[in-house]
């Protein structure tokens, strides 16, 4: 397995895997981006970059400090997550993630959040930030459940911050005072 790979099997026997995207994933990323590009509702609330074939190749061959990850369900890419800002020298990474519309509601977003939080802790960061459109109530609910404190960024967006520590399992624990 690659660095930071996580694999689990669901109760119905489906294989879920999360891993850092590499050049071997170029085809899967391209297909996933093609699906996203055709989903205007999703692209209206998640647009960290263009979802073109060229961008898929760039992400798959990326070699820097930022982190790009895939969620695979039975070897099909159904989710995409990222931690960005380290390339620009920021101590606090910015998290973004999206799950394919047809696979939402299965807990994959929660799994990916936990996975990305683990990557952040392994890299020694103490805080994660994100932005979310206020109209994206489902995502905002997930982020709050995960321990993010959302505050007004502007009229349309919230900024979320989550304090995590190396000794903690995630933001959920930090807000509940886990030891």
CA pair distance 128, 49, nearest whole angstrom: 20
With respect to residue 119, please indicate whether it lies within any of the assigned structural domains: yes
Domain annotation covers residue 134 = yes
- Tell me which of 36 and 24 has the higher pLDDT: 24
Q: Average pLDDT over the chain, rounded to whole? A: 86
Give CA–CA dist 150/86, Å, rounded.
Answer: 22
Digit-coded pLDDT (tens) for 158-178: 999 999 864 444 454 444 433
Kindly state whether residue 80 falls inside one of the protein's structural domains.
yes
Please give the average per-residue pLDDT across 22-40, as a whole number. 92
DSSP-assigned letter for residue 155? S
pLDDT tens digits, 32-46: 999 988 888 877 777
Q: Is residue 130 part of a domain?
A: yes
DSSP structure class, residue 65: S
Contact 157, 131 (CB under 8 A): yes
In 50-93 the beta strands, taken as DSSP E runs, fall at 67-73, 76-84
Q: What CATH number does residue 56 fall under?
A: 3.40.630.30
* Residue 1 included in any domain: no
Number of domains within the chain: 1
Structural domain range at position 149: 6-176
Residue 73 within a domain: yes
Would you say residue 100 lies in a domain? yes
Task: Please name the residue ranges forming H helices in 134-177.
Answer: 137-145, 171-176
């Amino acid at each position: 397995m690659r660095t930071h790979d996580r694999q689990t099997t669901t109760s119905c026997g489906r294989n879920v895997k999360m891993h850092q995207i590499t050049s071997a994933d170029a085809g899967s990323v391209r297909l996933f981006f093609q699906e996203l590009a055709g989903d205007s509702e999703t692209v209206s609330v998640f647009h960290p970059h263009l979802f073109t074939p060229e961008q898929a190749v760039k992400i798959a061959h990326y070699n820097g400090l930022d982190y790009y990850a895939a969620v695979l369900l039975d070897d099909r890419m159904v989710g995409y997550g990222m931690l960005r800002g380290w390339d620009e020298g920021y101590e606090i990474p910015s998290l973004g993630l999206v799950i394919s519309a047809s696979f939402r509601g299965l807990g994959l977003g929660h799994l990916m959040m936990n996975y990305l939080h683990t990557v952040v802790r392994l890299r020694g960061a103490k805080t994660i930030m994100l932005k979310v459109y206020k109209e994206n109530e489902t995502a905002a609910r997930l982020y709050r459940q995960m321990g993010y404190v959302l505050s007004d960024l502007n009229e349309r967006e919230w900024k979320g911050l989550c304090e995590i520590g190396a000794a903690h399992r995630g933001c959920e624990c930090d807000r509940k005072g886990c030891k």
